Amino acid sequence: MANAIRGAVGVLVVLLVPACTGDPTVAPAKGDFTLSDPANGAIGVPVTQTFDWEASFSVETPTYTIQVSTDPGLATLVINQSGLTTTSFTPATALSPGTVYYWQVLAVRSTGTVVATGTPWTFTTFSPTPGPFTMIAPTNALTGVSLTPTFSWNTSVGAATYTLQIATDVGFTSIVVNQTGIATTSLTLTTPLTPSTAYFWKVLAVSSTSVTATGAPWAFTTGTSTPTNTVTLVSPPDSSTGVSRTPTFSWSATGTPVSYTLQVSTDPAFGSFVINQSGNTSTSVTVTTTLAATTLYYWRVESLDSGSNVLATSSSFTLTTGN
């Protein structure tokens, strides 16, 4: 009986070892390791690429299987190499140039197989001549474009990098932006363009030779510069006396306000308010609160955006009410 109990305990301990050590093979989901190189979404990858990945931690040293395919479901494999004992693999046969591939690695143990987290990854191999591609945005002849626009284009299969060029003439003799070495299919300018100016832009896919995007160049015109937000009080004029106890306040504004807040106080520092009326969409308000007679008041106006953030605050005016 004692031997039977000891045997049962021994089996239980063996079953618990993987869970106690954090062995990811306990669950058949994604593993405890990730791919390294080529990076996910990489372009211009050599056709003789060496694949690298992290080691998968386990109480049992795994072997690895690398799978490479031209379809995201990995239904048709061009590489299916198993039994690898290191975290690196260089195929004996070169990949095809200018081709999109998908790849994943599996850690294989007697207790089960674990797939690298986040797989499959994708990459595109280098081609001496990049494939045709088109631009996306800003669309051709668009007006009112931001001074720091985001340019985007479709993938040129086989490209190593992209070059974005922007000019003020269709012949690109006056280039204002010539950004080379772009490894993605979009770029946002950090230096503003000139307001209300016509520009032309194109993208080149660069490998051993360069290919210009089909239909390029495209044109666009920038909008005006971001307006300055200001609020200027108009009426009652500063230092007015004998003012109605239900006055009409008016002001002017510049910029992009959505609403205004009228503030009236007996405190020049506006530590408290007699009127603090928000949500005004016009630049004139007749108050419904009757002010005290023969009293000195201070008033100002704030302009706000759609998120109720204050864009600008006017200077303050004074008024003294009549009897």
Report the pLDDT value the prediction gives residue 15, as an integer from 0 to 100.
36
Q: Over the chain, what is the mean pLDDT?
A: 89
**Are the CB atoms for 323 and 300 separated by under 8 Å?**
no
Contacts of 114 (CB under 8 A, 6+ apart): 24, 25, 28, 30, 31, 32, 33, 56, 62, 106, 107
CB atoms within 10 A of CB 229: 17
How confident is the model over 200-246, as pLDDT tens digits? 999 999 999 999 999 999 999 999 876 678 999 999 999 999 999 99
Torsion of Cα atoms, 4 then 8 then 9 then 13, to 10°: 150
Tokens in use for 315?
């200077």
**Alpha carbon distances (Å) from 167 to 36, 174, 198, 206, 257:** 38, 5, 9, 19, 34
Which range (50-59, 225-234, 293-302) has the least confidence? 225-234
Give yes or no for residue 19 having a pLDDT over 50.
Answer: no
**Are the CB atoms for 211 and 132 separated by under 8 Å?**
yes
Please list, residue by residue across 65-88, b when 16 or more beta carbons sit within 10 angstroms of its beta carbon and e when fewer do.
Answer: bbbbbeeeebeeebbebeebeebe
What value, to the nearest 5°, has the Cα angle with vertex 292 and ends 287 and 293? 115
Q: Residue 187 forms beta bridges with which residues?
A: 151
Q: What secondary structure does DSSP assign to 93-104, as a single string?
A: SPPPTT-EEEEE
Structural domains present in the chain: 24-125 (2.60.40.10), 135-222 (2.60.40.10), 230-321 (2.60.40.10)
Report the pLDDT value the prediction gives residue 30, as an integer from 0 to 100.
58
Tokens in use for 283?
């630049």
Report the pLDDT value the prediction gives residue 227, as an integer from 0 to 100.
66
Q: Give the mean model confidence (pLDDT) for residues 72-86.
A: 95
Q: Give the mean model confidence (pLDDT) for residues 92-109.
A: 95
Torsion of Cα atoms, 151 then 154 then 157 then 160, to 10°: 10
Report the pLDDT value the prediction gives residue 20, as an integer from 0 to 100.
36
For tokens 């990995």, name the residue: 74
Q: Model pTM?
A: 0.56
Report the pLDDT value the prediction gives residue 27, as an integer from 0 to 100.
36
Give yes or no for residue 145 having a pLDDT over 60.
Answer: yes
Cα 223 off chain centre by? 22
Report the pLDDT value the prediction gives residue 306, as an integer from 0 to 100.
87
Which range (137-151, 217-231, 253-267, 273-287) has the least confidence? 217-231
